[in-house]
Amino acid sequence: MVNYPFLTSAPGKVILFGEHSAPAIAAALSLRTYLLVSKNKDDLEGYIRLEFPDIGLSHQWKKSEMPWDLSTHEQGRPPASEELNAELVNGLTPMLTTITSPLHYAAAYCFLYLFVSLCHGEVEHGLTFTVRSTLPIGAGLGSSASISVCLASAFAYIGGHIKAASLERDSKIVKDSDECLFIDAWSYMGEKCIHGNPSGIDNAVATHGGAVMFQRMENAVPSVRTSMRNLPSINLLLTNTKTPRRTADLVSNVARIVNDFPKSTGCILESMEAIAREAYNLMLRPFFDEDSKGRLMELIRINHGLLVSLGVSHPNLERIKLYCDELKMGETKLTGAGGGGCAITLLTDDIAAETYEKLFAKFEQNGFETFRTTLGGKGVGLLGNPAEALLQYMTPESFVNFNNTTEIETSIGCTAVESWKYW
């Protein structure tokens, strides 16, 4: 039995090494996406409503319009497939014809694909799905994966495919829960709807949290996810150019370049692979000393240079790098798909306060925004006691007005991490 309303949440991620290649290293961020699922009032028709104010999308369909017969689910848990189900994709197209913005289209398509695949016949009422994120959207921090994970976990719960989350998840348990593996697999399908050919690292981090080294495999060979415990405490500056871009465009452009210049790009991809492996070994050294940090910085610089050669930088990303280089702040690389979005700078120790002031003044002149965030946080969660009672008063209208995690959590009385349940 599902109790409405309920809230799911998943983190964004930062890729430290290996975007557009494999393996890659990424860690969960404290910036997160939240999904409120509530029953509609006075809704005899049974509408499924989307309220996605972060991208200015408000849309609804009748439950009876959904092509339920096209989801191949028979009995038990529906398995996620290697590729999107072409019949279902075709069946959803007429429901999306009035949505013209690519941003809106991607979000609505991901919603419908996962909803029809996972909630087969289990929805008796009209429902509203309201999403708020404290992540910048389309900025390389994995907002697409975090919304996919929020949706996949909510639908898996509504569809009865996963049991309720619990408060007692023991972080020492090494084995992943079946629930998390199910959410990970289906959120990957959601990522496919949003950007075509994802590696799976973003949804893996948004589901499981922590930090991982992720090796994508081809031809139905399962990907390998190695969790990285005890990350060294590195001082990272995260800066958003605020230059919009779509991961889908960048990923397809890199695929084109690799296809057109297989020999010339092959060695670039191989170098990026070597960088990620070397960084992994460095970061897991029992003593992460000055020498390790120096080497990690050099790998950041090399990795960025290779990404530039694949055409995924942007003048604003280069500006961030230039300012940081001029002030000798450390080493900078783009993070995520590039083309705009965010850069990370691994900072040197003992930077003077006035140096930071100079840097932030330059950033301000350019309209760049820096983030304070911590790495390696929790993965997907469901809001539970003691906030459940307060959650009854949460409406889509009030939820859309919150601006950050603290506001959302304070309003529902659950600033304590213990309020969240985990799978």
Catalytic positions are 202
d(CA 325, CA 328): 5
- 206 scored as a contact of ligand ADP (CB under 6 A): no
Q: Which does 199 bind (CB under 5 to 8 A by kind): ligand ADP, Mg ion, ligand PMV, none?
A: ligand PMV
Q: Which of 133, 247, 345, 419 binds ligand PMV (CB under 6 A)?
A: 247
d(CA 273, CA 18): 7
Site string for ligand PMV, 185-204 (x = CB under 6 A): -------------xx-xx--
Q: Which of residues 326-345 bind ligand ADP (CB under 6 A)?
A: 336
Site string for ligand ADP, 58-97 (x = CB under 6 A): ----------------------------------------
Q: Which of 209, 210, 336, 384 binds ligand PMV (CB under 6 A)?
A: 336
Own/partner long-range contacts of 282-291 (Cβ < 8 Å, ≥24 apart): 283/25, 283/228, 283/231, 283/232, 284/228, 284/230, 285/232, 288/232
d(CA 73, CA 100): 30
- 54 scored as a contact of ligand ADP (CB under 6 A): yes
- 139 scored as a contact of ligand ADP (CB under 6 A): yes
Q: Which of 52, 368, 371, 423 binds ligand ADP (CB under 6 A)?
A: 52
d(CA 16, CA 231): 12
Helix (H) or strand (E) holding 370: strand 369-371
Of 156 and 337, which has the nearer Cβ to ligand PMV? 337
Of 206 and 359, which has the nearer Cβ to ligand ADP? 206
Residue 188 CB, shortest distance to ligand ADP, in Å, is: 13
- 247 scored as a contact of Mg ion (CB under 5 A): yes
Strand, coil or helix: 143: helix
What string of DSSP letters covers 53-98? GGGTEEEEEEGGGS-GGGS---SSSPPPPSS--HHHHHHHHHHHTT
Residues 6+ positions from 67 with CB-CB distance below 8 Å:
88, 91, 92, 116
Of 166 and 252, which has the nearer Cβ to ligand ADP? 252
Of 128 and 153, which has the nearer Cβ to Mg ion? 153
Residue 267 CB, shortest distance to ligand PMV, in Å, is: 19
Q: Which does 131 bind (CB under 5 to 8 A by kind): ligand PMV, ligand ADP, Mg ion, none?
A: ligand ADP
- 331 scored as a contact of ligand PMV (CB under 6 A): no
Site string for ligand PMV, 97-136 (x = CB under 6 A): ----------------------------------------
Residues 6+ positions from 201 with CB-CB distance below 8 Å:
13, 15, 24, 26, 212, 214, 216
Q: Which does 206 bind (CB under 5 to 8 A by kind): ligand PMV, Mg ion, ligand ADP, none?
A: none
Residues 6+ positions from 171 with CB-CB distance below 8 Å:
none
3-state per-residue secondary structure call for 373-390 = CCECCCCCEEECCCCHHH
Query: What residue has token string 């998390």?
Result: 180
Sort 419 into a burial class: Cβ within 10 Å, 0-12 / 13-18 / 19+: buried
Residue 387 CB, shortest distance to ligand PMV, in Å, is: 29
Cβ(94)–Cβ(88) under 8 Å?
no
Q: Which does 147 bind (CB under 5 to 8 A by kind): ligand ADP, ligand PMV, Mg ion, none?
A: ligand ADP
- 142 scored as a contact of ligand PMV (CB under 6 A): yes
CA distances from 25 to 201, 300, 330 (A): 8, 12, 19
Of 104 and 208, which has the nearer Cβ to ligand ADP? 104
Q: Which does 246 bind (CB under 5 to 8 A by kind): ligand PMV, Mg ion, ligand ADP, none?
A: ligand ADP
d(CA 384, CA 8): 10
Q: Which does 103 bind (CB under 5 to 8 A by kind): ligand ADP, Mg ion, ligand PMV, none?
A: ligand ADP
Q: Which does 133 bind (CB under 5 to 8 A by kind): Mg ion, ligand ADP, ligand PMV, none?
A: ligand ADP
d(CA 178, CA 182): 6
Length of the chain: 423
Residues in the site for ligand ADP, rule: CB under 6 A?
33, 52, 54-55, 103, 106-107, 131, 133, 137-144, 147, 194-195, 246-247, 336
Residues in the site for ligand PMV, rule: CB under 6 A?
15, 19-20, 140-142, 144, 198-199, 201-202, 247, 251, 336-337
